[in-house]
Structure 1
Amino acid sequence: MWRRWGFFRQFKLNVIQLARLRSEPDAIARGMALGIFIGFTPTFGVQMILAILFAFLLRQNKIAAFVGVWITNPFTAPLIYGLEYEVGRMLLGLPPLGINHFGRDLSWSLGMQVGEPLLLGSLVLGIPVAIIGYSLTARLIPSLRLWKIPRWPRRRE
């Protein structure tokens, strides 16, 4: 039954793509770290475009950067962005926003009250997570290449 869920299938396909890249594990890990860092930034609809652009400009692995951005997916984005906001808010010493702030018209000042802590929190959390992602990817790629990944059986209709 879990094979029918698109999320698990996409995850498996991403792992297969990483394992089959013909680059050094260090190069793949650098691309993955770049993608993870960009995934942690509050660039909501353009993260994949930014990851490919920066991977091209910095001459990093584009596929690994593309895969790394998927750290923020519909399941993890609320947790990641909420944590980033709280970390940034605490570092800036701002009071928490109440629900009544969102009932009014959305304005530039409200955007700044949310955006500044979110941006600071994304930098504070994104850098260490990208470093952890680099080290994990660099160590896992050689073992993934040895692992024989079976194909899923096709459904007979």
Structure 2
Amino acid sequence: MLFRRRQIPTRIERLRVAVWPRNSWSRSTKYFGKRVLRLTATPHAIAIGFAAGAFASCTPLVGFHFLTAFGLAWVLRGNLIAAALGTSIGNPITFPFIWAFTFKIGQWILHGRAPKADPAHVHQQFQHGLFEKSLDSLWPMLKPMFIGGVPLGLVIGSVSYVIVYKSVEVYQRRRKRILAERGEQLFPAPGRTLEEDGGA
């Protein structure tokens, strides 16, 4: 194949790239942003799909964020590819803060108080318990995170919706204008020649 990589990446390398980008985070963010803008759907469908992915990232359903995002996007009639891209809101940099905030918000809703929670400590404790503890012993920590994930997910999802909707709307409007201008140059209006258009 013409553009095939010389060295096929292993499964471990693919997993590592999925968790931690090969290049810088800023470059990866720009790449995901362009992927979102270039989707072929209405601004609402793209924005609601991305918001569904952002909301799913605020839940402690590690390993099921894609499925949760797809389910929400399907119910809300959002774009499924945008939903997958929206899950990038949850990444190794943001997860410690997301989990700490959801835990604190959930504790405040359940018990009327929000304990001091260090993001790094909550992140480490959650990861350690997720793979080594049973669901019964992990539930006291998961319960407030599930409850706290709803309001935090709604806020992040709403902000994401507004930003993505406006960005896609501007991008699509500008793209239509550029295509229209190119079409006029290639196919001038009846009764006008290319020389007349150039001299105008």
Which TM class, normalised by the smaller chain length? 0.7 to 0.9
Does 1:121 pair with 2:139? no
- Give distance in 2, aligned partners of 1:108 and 1:33: 29
- Give distance in 2, aligned partners of 1:110 and 1:144: 49
Equivalent position of 1:42 in the other structure: 60
Q: Which runs of 5+ in 2 are unaligned?
A: 1-21, 126-131, 176-200
- Give distance in 1, aligned partners of 2:133 and 2:45: 43
- Give distance in 2, aligned partners of 1:62 and 1:108: 30
CA deviation after TM superposition for structure 1 residue 79, in Å: 0.5
Change (3 A) 1:63 1:106: closer
CA deviation after TM superposition for structure 1 residue 61, in Å: 0.2
Q: Which runs of 5+ in 1 are unaligned?
A: 148-157
Q: TM-score, normalised by structure 2?
A: 0.61
Q: Match for 2:39: what amino acid?
A: L
CA deviation after TM superposition for structure 1 residue 111, in Å: 1.4
Q: Match for 2:107: what amino acid?
A: R
CA deviation after TM superposition for structure 1 residue 144, in Å: 3.8
Q: Which has the larger radius of gyration?
A: 2
CA deviation after TM superposition for structure 1 residue 109, in Å: 4.6
Q: TM-score, normalised by structure 1?
A: 0.75
Show CA shifts across 1:20-54 (max 9, x none). 11111111111111111111111111212332344
Q: Secondary structure at the match of 1:133?
A: helix
RMSD across aligned positions (CA): 2.8
- Give distance in 2, aligned partners of 1:72 and 1:22: 24
Q: Secondary structure at the match of 1:5?
A: coil
Q: Match for 1:36: what amino acid?
A: A
- Work out the percentage of aligned pairs sharing the same amino acid: 29
- 2:50–2:86 CA contact under 8 A, matched in 1: yes
How many matched pairs? 141
Show CA shifts across 1:88-123 (max 9, x none). 011111785999xx7xx9455531210111011001
Does 1:111 pair with 2:138? yes
Does 1:87 pair with 2:105? yes
- Give distance in 1, aligned partners of 2:136 and 2:101: 21
- Give distance in 2, aligned partners of 1:130 and 1:118: 17
- Give distance in 2, aligned partners of 1:41 and 1:80: 9
Equivalent position of 1:154 in the other structure: none
Q: How does 1:15-30 map to 2 (within 5 A)?
A: 15-30=33-48
Q: Match for 1:136: what amino acid?
A: I
Change (3 A) 1:8 1:19: same
Change (3 A) 1:26 1:110: same
- Give distance in 2, aligned partners of 1:7 and 1:74: 11
Q: Match for 1:142: what amino acid?
A: E
* Structure with larger RCO (C-alpha < 8 A, sep 6+): 1
Equivalent position of 2:157 in the other structure: 130
Q: Match for 2:167: what amino acid?
A: L
